[in-house]
Structure 1
């Protein structure tokens, strides 16, 4: 989902998907699926892996109960933007190139799956 923005406007439109499963957003499923997949590799019974995945999801939802949907993606994008513009990237040009590549990659990824793009690129993704 790509929206065009212009320099004439100071408002931005984000194309996000309202799809969720019982209050679980798309990004929250990472905290259910990844621990469940990892636990399934080490345990004999898939029920225990499922229980560990559900516990990790419950714990994540409990710790982030007063945050808006999409906060994890936004925090990661802000952190990548700060890394790209920070003093560590100024000292090491290779770090700046890696951070810029990761920021562009994450922005394209978020746009493709319908999540918020990086705030450092919110006015730069013209086709």
Structure 2
């Protein structure tokens, strides 16, 4: 399975990529911004997208909106990665049409399983 990671932080993006490749046998694509992520999602058609919520310029929620508005990408399941764990934010995320929300910091050894579970139920 192919997954696209959209995260502006190089170290998080690289660590997440390694985790998924090693523990889940994923083919991992990466993007360092919402704009790059939109282009890669449309061109590469990954099986899922891991999307960071907090990014400069176009944040994760704006990127999600554009992914869902485009016929080229609106069927790709999106999993949000966020450090925002406040109840109000959690309620807001639960109202979005996403496969799951995974809180940072996440356990790198269970991330692949979390993604697979989200895609099965999402």
Task: Bin the TM-score by the shorter chain.
Answer: under 0.3
TM-score normalized with structure 1 length: 0.24
TM-score normalized with structure 2 length: 0.25
Greater relative contact order (Cα 8 A, min sep 6): structure 1 or 2? 1
Higher helix share: 1
Higher strand share: 2
